[in-house]
Structure 1
């Protein structure tokens, strides 16, 4: 692993996720909070127009706008499509980024606590994740990479990842989670500084990893309308085991619908408000213990 030279902290990729936006404002008022001796730290408000209007996005999800072919397509002129191109010019180009690490700050209405979302299982980010879980047992680590090229903002550099915190209502600040997110950002920056100084204490304990398996939609009728809700026994049970046959949905007339999988899974992003439009009721993960190699 080469030395870290530039780190980008991004908030407001979704305009109605206020935690990251107001953390950026705090950092920009006192850059010493995120300044470290051995690397430069940049801050960037991802979607300023959506934040101004307290909306997730204006035309489309900015965090799904970073496919290489889209960034190079001059016919795409929607607000987020253009904003993605601006961000890529500032941080990219994709595949040859001007920054070494991207920390993309998000919040969720789901009970995700403090989550680190990784797109690649690189030894460097895995060792970082292992360090963060060792100093704060609340931190959970998810591997969310899809098979095709990623269209997420954090994919602009090799060591990009998201911090996802919740539950927080959209366009609302939660003081406790704001402070926990802030502390987590400082821990990441301190780790990167110590990595540059080669003073990292190696972690030999296995890392608990939640690997993305897929997503399930709500049950729907012939018109595409939702006909069942998240079952009360599952609501807010992110990262907890869901066994075959256990209730997962509840119809409006009170009938339980059981999970028909064949193995125990660990749902995350349960009942995320922003995912209704995506046809996602929850994401399913499998829980793994991963031996993290030393950097």
Structure 2
């Protein structure tokens, strides 16, 4: 792969996720923190109107507005659709990106630690992920929606990925996770600098990652109203094994509902506040080991 020349750090794609938004504010005030000799680092506040309003979005989820067809559709006129087109102009089209790598910063109410959310098995990203996870036990790697046909902001670059940190409440600036996220960003930028100097740090020979396989909604009645909550034994147990027969939900009248799958899975985004509207109580993954 060619040298990394331009990197974009995006925060505030969701306006009420303050960790990334305020890191962008900090980096804009002190740009020397993120500059490295061999490449340029850009910053971008993804959804400024939603950030000002302290809301996830104004009209619709900005991080679901990057389908190629939607970006080309001039009839789509919501604030987020217009903003997505503007971001594409800044970062470049999917087929002609103006940046070599995108780091999209997010926070979550789920116990995700420091999660790298990848959309491809690109060897460069896998080696970067292996390096970061070897340096910090809180770093986990999750493979989600493939970038081909993706509607995520990160898909504007072949080497785009999301960092999810948490648990952090919506609309709250948490100093601990702010510092941990900033440290992770510096580790990424330092790795890129070493890569450009042909001094790639040694990594583990294998990478453990979690492959997305599906999602589960809350039990609901015929009116769409939630009838059960995450079971206490599952709450905050992201990336931990969930076996068939384990309790997964607790009904409002105190009855446990067991997981009915046929194999062990590893839930993530358990009880994520922003996913209630999407009909997702948790996402399910399978644990994989990839040889580097």
Q: TM tier, shorter chain?
A: over 0.9
Alignment of 1:69-108 (within 5 A): 69-108=69-108
Other-structure match for 1:130:
130
Other-structure match for 2:157:
157
Other-structure match for 1:41:
41
Other-structure match for 2:11:
11
Other-structure match for 1:68:
68
Assess if the C-alpha contact under 8 Å between 2:120 and 2:147 holds in 1. no
Other-structure match for 2:270:
270
Other-structure match for 1:246:
246
Assess if the C-alpha contact under 8 Å between 2:119 and 2:147 holds in 1. no
CA distance in 1, matches of 2:198, 2:204: 17
Change (3 A) 1:61 1:220: same
**Aligned-pair RMSD on alpha carbons?**
0.9
Q: What TM-score, normalized by structure 1, do the two folds share?
A: 0.98
SS at match of 2:254: coil
Change (3 A) 1:199 1:23: same
Change (3 A) 1:76 1:118: same
Question: After superposition, what is the alpha-carbon deviation per residue over 1:214-257, rounded to whole angstroms, capped at 9, x for unaligned?
Answer: 10100011111110000000000000000000000000000100
Question: After superposition, what is the alpha-carbon deviation per residue over 1:89-126, rounded to whole angstroms, capped at 9, x for unaligned?
Answer: 00011221000000000000000011000000100000
SS at match of 1:249: strand
Assess if the C-alpha contact under 8 Å between 2:119 and 2:143 holds in 1. yes
Moved over 4 A (4+): none
Change (3 A) 1:3 1:269: same
Q: Offset of 1:147 from its aligned partner?
A: 8.5
SS at match of 1:277: coil
Q: Does 1:198 align with 2:222?
A: no
Change (3 A) 1:33 1:118: same
CA distance in 1, matches of 2:154, 2:228: 34
Assess if the C-alpha contact under 8 Å between 2:54 and 2:171 holds in 1. yes
Q: What TM-score, normalized by structure 2, do the two folds share?
A: 0.99
Assess if the C-alpha contact under 8 Å between 1:214 and 1:284 holds in 2. yes
CA distance in 1, matches of 2:198, 2:11: 29
Assess if the C-alpha contact under 8 Å between 1:204 and 1:291 holds in 2. no
Question: After superposition, what is the alpha-carbon deviation per residue over 1:154-199, rounded to whole angstroms, capped at 9, x for unaligned?
Answer: 0000000011000000000111111000000000000001000000
SS at match of 2:93: coil
CA distance in 1, matches of 2:92, 2:216: 33
Question: Structure 2: which 5+ runs fail to align?
Answer: none
CA distance in 2, matches of 1:62, 1:2: 30
Other-structure match for 2:120:
120
Question: Structure 1: which 5+ runs fail to align?
Answer: none
CA distance in 1, matches of 2:205, 2:181: 24
How many positions carry a matched residue from both structures? 292
Assess if the C-alpha contact under 8 Å between 2:266 and 2:287 holds in 1. yes
CA distance in 2, matches of 1:111, 1:50: 24
